[in-house]
Structure 1
Amino acid sequence: MKYNRRDFIGGSMALTSALFLTPIETFSTPSSGSEKWVNGFALKIMAPYWGFNGSVTDFCKKAKDSGYDGIEILWSAEIAGELFKALKKYQLEVGFLCRGDEALPVPHFATFKKVLKEAIEHRYQKPLYINVHSGKDFFEYQDNKKFIDFTVQYAKETGVPIYHETHRSRMLYSAPASLQYLEKNPDLRLTLDISHWCNVSESLLEDQPETVALAISRTDHVHSRVGHAEGPQVSDPRAPEWKQAVDAHFAWWDKVVAIKKQQGKILTMLTEFGPPSYMPTIPFTNLPVADQWEINVFMMQVWRKRYL
């Protein structure tokens, strides 16, 4: 079954009763053993299912063979059975992406809550975290705030961390738009995908250091894609022409890691270089200019060497 992050399924189909409503305590939690613990700090690196052309089982095997600690995948009840079997077989941790897509706040929020509960309230494996695409860039502040209030309370009830991604088209689509949410909601925790902010602001955010610093202080999960002033993804972070953008992103990530090391806490990271059309392509062929999986493995290796 072909399954892509951008295809919103979100478990909208009817679910079997055996899958849900089992106490959180019954979850199993694997340990890959590849992360290093130093004074409580650990770095866990996740592989993206987005862009993988193959089954969930094949993906999990490839992630394990490549050295990842776990995977991040859009929650879908359709693939839950195969997914949890593969996670157990290959001893991988999992983080889920959850979201709603409706254009009106009320149905959007209803879908968001439904999908989020499905991703957590099952009897298999406890997610390491939930990454959420929250609200819309055109929703009013009070409508978007409902997503924050719900996730803060739900994370406390379930013990599963929930992080709001800095993502275009969503509530936290840009640095200036995110500032009021960060200032007014001290319990808001982030998935920092700062490539989106670079794209929206058409800069490397040199003129917004205070907002970036505040976002970094709230970050618990990182999407380590490198963006630039004109797009959300450089063609290949190994290419010298992208050195300025790569250096800027690592300077931000250095600060995130330093905070987690000081706190003695776990940091999760997803290597999220994407396929076309995030990945630039050769005209008239739509062939990617670089290998997505190879780049993501490269980023995993660089992070481990730099931070462990």
Structure 2
Amino acid sequence: MQQAIKIGTRGSPLALAQAEDVKARLVAAHADLTPDDIEIVIIKTTGDRILDRHLMTAGGKGLFTKEIEDALLEGRIDCAVHSSKDMPTSLPDGLVLSTFLPREDARDVFISAAYASLRELPEGATVGTASLRRRALALRLRPDLKIVTFRGNVQTRLRKLKDGEADATFLARAGLNRLDMASAATETLSFEDFLPAPAQGAVTVEVRDADSAMKDWLAPLHCARTALEVTAERAFLAALDGSCRTPIAAHATADENRVIMRAMLLSLDGQTVFEQSGETAADLNDVAALGERLGHAVRADAGAAFFDQLARDIEAEIA
């Protein structure tokens, strides 16, 4: 019997659902693999332990990946399954994102027990979110809203909503779909009104770059279209030095011939927006260049004064 393939993941219900999906796809793709040949290893990250404040006060996106990547580098796991939007744009030396699963619905949803849509919320209603992007986009449409911090997994945030800590919240439709909880959504928000986070809806698998055997196991699972879209969006994020400290949104759509992308940077209150769009050939190098070009254009439009003010606004918000 061959040594078990060990898949590392966070322990939330959504993270486990994504890891189980990768496991099932591996078994389906390889006649010589059985479910017993694949072990899912739960790794608790620093980000999972911090539930009472913004992640930006403790280090940002990498808090959801560091412990898992350490396990991968040390050989305690063979691959790691992540939500692509949680991944920093710079990976540790020796690690690569080798595989992207077919992308789920990238849109956000509005959830409320009492109101049918974001626009129907009463004046001054309270909305819970820890995402600066969602905060900015909501205030762009409804400057009157009061935003409070919601942290935790999908179930935790829905419980907070049920307990009356806010009138509404936002979640990614992809996560609800993967948890068979699509009915929890009250309104699916359009790309036009509510541009998603870069790489939202895409699951990725991280491996050691030198591990050709693991790459071969994963190769049948890879979706080239998702890779094109996520590469463009992550390149935009990288060009802006984007993190959870910056309200950044981007969405690329790929077909066999071209990739079309729209991206934006917002002020914390959503009232200042810098937006760019473009298209290019459906080639990994070309889409990376497109994302980088749009990012540099947005950075130039915004100017240093905007970023300085954004930093001050964020520091005041989390003080």
- TM-score category by the smaller chain? under 0.3
TM-score (norm 2): 0.26
| Greater Rg by CA | 2
- Between the two structures, name the one with larger relative contact order (CA 8 Å, sep ≥ 6): 2
Give 1 or 2: higher strand fraction.
Answer: 2
